[in-house]
Structure 1
Amino acid sequence: MKRIFPLPLILALGALAQSTLGVEPPVLLKEAKPGEVLTQTLTVYNVGTRPVRVRVSLGDWTYDPMGKIQFLPTGTLKESASPWATFSPAEFLLEPKQSRPLTYTLTVPKDAVSGTHWGILFLESEDPNPPPGVPLATFRVRMAHVFYVNIGPLTSGGRITGIVPSPPKSPQEPYRFAIQYQNTGNTAQKLSGRFEVRDSMGRKVAEAEVEEVVVLPGQVRILPVILVGPLPAGNYTALAILNYGDPTKDVAADLPFTLRTPLSAPPGPPANEGGKGGTP
């Protein structure tokens, strides 16, 4: 088993009163060969004070370039691993403070193509005895276990297709950038990186955080970057440096831009007024 990707989604259909459903592990990555059978046992737990009825189902998921999750019927995606899965039990009752195992099996087709395949196992719970007069939907919670299956040979690659600037309308606003990245390989990637600003002499004068995300094979992600001051007016170069999991290789792109008015520092906490009067 290789590194585990961050969980891209945990969902809720409402607040389950006095009850919390969980699953461990929430995400899993396995290596497999065509024709291989994989079995995984999860632990489903209820840390709340009321019993819950849990129903299990399968689905597909993907996202748009901004990272908004989209849920789809099983087998919608050509990379879907959900049709390979069977599980037991499909429904069970979980008492307060109780946990129980849930086993699922992935039967990889003999003609499975190389690359990353993925799916999602939904666990939806509801209170079997909701208080009178309260809509049942109020007491539903849906959690997710995401599974990835890597089938070799795997190819890794990526590129930054652009950096789009959004200048501030006032010195108090941040300077916003959008890094456009494309996964050109056939395997899911854990993308990380940094964003720097350099002056006309090549010196780093500012930096901003780049969110760590998962990028599915062939897909595009837009990574928002927020740059705050203080930064004087002048000519600069924005530099995005990203890594998709290869410790020996980064991808980079730059964008010259002009800051026409100084960029202010973000507002600080209110000044301490202590000492000017007694305690109320």
Structure 2
Amino acid sequence: MLKDRWWLGLALATLVLLPTAGLGSMAVAPLSLRIPAAPGQQGSASFTIRNTGTEPITVNITLHDWWRTPDGRFQILPAGSLERSCAEWVLYSASSLELAPGEEREVTVKVTVPEDVEGDHWALLLVAEEPRPEGEEEGLTSTTRVVVTYAVKILQQDPVNKHLEAEIKGIELVQPSPLELRVRFVNTGNAHLTTQGTVEIRDIFGETVRSFSVAPFPSLPGEERVILLEDTSSAPLPEGFYYVIALLDFGGDYLIQGGAPLQIPAPQG
């Protein structure tokens, strides 16, 4: 009955997925678990949940998959729905917890990797505070509540069979001044990547007249990221023809690059 009430409460609630670890009446940390485990091996990690409020709370933990769209939207999917899901290999020590005010509990996550797979895999645990029961008012058929939920990402990393590969599928000039570029990046390997780099602006003689850094960004195997890069320099480029090159370091044995022509017109007036 309590479980049915929980799902009813979730159906009538507004789900708030929090990106930080200490809002609402509970704190969850860390929100990302990296678990090194080769095929045929087991790895583990843990996170903690703390009741930061003044009343007892019930916390429910459920297993899911997750994905990020090219434009950066976070998607929560049914467990086991992705090709590289590790949800079927995951065991966690508690699916429901009762926490007194100030109490802290540790949840252990174990991943047992089959022998016939290679590369990185991932899943997600949603850690949700159960809505507190409220007195029913006569004639009230539904109540909207906010459900505070944290997403704990699980990344199983294969230390033996990882292949770091990536491509720039396209580069588009959004606007010339201030310079904005849209880069289509694809992780074509089987491992999680953290990519960073530099954008260089070269004149017709091939000399670099300006450069700026590309902040690190993550990507999962098979993931396409559309990254907007902007030159934040205050000084505009002089009139002329240029070539813009994005040089990205994804952690592999080589750099990848893409380029686009750029023309700065003469000032009006």
**Per the shorter chain, which TM-score range?**
0.7 to 0.9
Cα distance in 2 for residues equivalent to 1:225 and 1:96: 45
Q: What runs of 5+ residues in structure 1 fail to find an aligned partner?
A: 1-10, 264-280
- Mean alpha-carbon deviation: is it higher for 21-30 or for 201-210? 201-210
2: CA distance, partners of 1:123 / 1:213: 25
- CA distance in 1: counterparts of 2:17 and 2:226, whole angstroms: 27
Residue 130 of structure 1, CA deviation: 5.4
Alignment of 1:18-33 (within 5 A): 19-33=24-38
What's the CA shift for 1:51? 3.3
Query: For 1:49 and 1:122, how far apart are their aligned partners in 2?
Result: 23
Residues 58 and 137 of structure 1: CA distance in aligned 2, closer, same or farther (over 3 Å): farther
Q: Which residue of 1 aligns with 2:108?
A: 103
Q: Tell me, yes or no, if structure 1 residue 218 matches structure 2 residue 222.
A: yes
Pair 105,164 (structure 1): closer, same or farther in 2 beyond 3 Å: same
Out of 56, 59, 71, the residue aligned to residue 76 of structure 2 is: 71
CA RMSD of aligned residues (A): 2.7
Alignment check: 8 A CA contact 2:17 2:151 kept: no
Q: Secondary structure at the match of 2:88?
A: helix
* Cα distance change on mapping 1:90 and 1:206 into 2, 3 Å: same
2:153 corresponds to which residue? 146
- After superposition, the Cα gap between the structure-2 partners of 1:167 and 1:38, relative to the gap in structure 1 and judged at 3 Å, is closer
Q: 1:144-183 residue pairs with structure 2 within 5 A? A: 144-151=151-158, 152-167=160-175, 174-183=178-187
Decide whether the 8 Å contact of 1:209 with 1:225 is kept in 2. no
Please point out which of 243, 259, 263 is paired with 2:249: 243
Stretches of structure 2 lacking an aligned partner (at least 5 in a row)? 1-14
Q: Deviations over 1:216-268 (max 9, x none)?
A: 1122211101235422221111111111123x5322222221122459xxxxx
Displacement of 1:82 after TM fit? Answer: 1.0
CA contact (8 A) 2:247 2:258 kept: yes
Query: Equivalents in 1 of 2:247, 2:225: separation in Å?
Result: 15
Counterpart secondary structure, 2:79: coil
Residues 174, 180 of structure 2: 8 Å contact kept: yes
Q: Distance in 2 between matches of 1:77 and 1:138?
A: 31
Contact in 1 for aligned 2:173/2:181 (Cα 8 Å): yes
Residue 236 of structure 2 corresponds to 230
The structural deviation recorded for 1:117 is: 0.4
| Counterpart Cα distance in 1 of 2:143 and 2:130 | 8
Contact 1:51 1:127 in 2 (8 A): no
Shift in CA distance, 259/76, structure 1 to aligned 2, threshold 3 Å: same
Q: Once the 2 structures are TM-superposed, how far is the Cα of residue 42 of structure 1 from its aligned partner?
A: 1.8
| 8 A contact 1:41–1:103 mirrored in 2 | yes
SS at match of 1:186: coil
Per-residue Cα deviation, 1:177-196 (whole angstroms, up to 9, x for no partner)? 11111212111101111222
Q: In structure 2, what is the Cα distance between the partners aligned to 1:167 and 1:187? A: 33
Once the two structures are TM-superposed, the CA of residue 110 in structure 1 deviates from its matched residue by 3.1
1:146 aligned partner, one-letter code: K
CA distance in 2, matches of 1:110, 1:19: 41
Q: Please tell me whether the aligned partners of residues 19 and 49 of structure 1 are also in contact (alpha carbons under 8 angstroms).
A: no
Q: Equivalent residue of 1:207, what SS? A: strand
AA aligned opposite 1:98: E
* Aligned mates of 1:46, 1:233 — CA distance in 2: 60
The question of 1:52 aligning with 2:57 is answered yes
**Identity across aligned pairs (percent)?**
30
CA-CA distance at 1:129 after TM superposition: 5.0
One-letter amino acid of the structure 1 residue matched with residue 129 of structure 2: S
1:42 is matched with which residue?
A: 47
